[in-house]
Homo-oligomer: A and B are copies of this chain.
Amino acid sequence: MSKQEIGMPGPADGCSPGLLTAPLDEDQAVELARVFKALGDPVRLRLLSMIASRAGGEVCVCDLTPAFDLSQPTISHHLKLLREAGLIASQRRGTWVYYRLLPEMTDRLAGILTRPAGRPVGSPAGAEA
């Protein structure tokens, strides 16, 4: 299995297949599922939304932890899963770690979930089992 950066269909170029236009192959599905799985948790979604919406684009972990009734190690574990999925990046500066969104990944997810313009879902052939 190729393991480039994230081997998922990349519709950002406007021609690669998305989730809705052609059946995914197994490798694509495994890689993509990993990212969706990272999003499949309420704490991680809240963390991601806090990071993505922060003015300045960067959040100290020390500003994230107080929003949750969870220990800092637990928060750090959730942040690690978001980072491993390619959704956020981190940088340690002094005592604290700072997080920022990697919008390339959310752009890719948005792209593969977007119906192709002018072509209703289900119109192309090619979904043979």
- Interface on A for B, CB 8 Å cutoff? 19-24, 26, 29-30, 32-34, 36-46, 48-59, 63-67, 100-101, 103, 106-107, 109-111, 113-115, 120-127, 129
Contacts and interface: CB of A to CB of B under 8 A. Distances in A.
A129 B40 contact: no
A64 to B, nearest CB: 6
B101 A57 contact: no
A113 B109 contact: yes
A129 B24 contact: no
A46 B26 contact: yes
A46 B122 CA distance: 15
Contacts of A111: 110
A110 B113 CA distance: 5
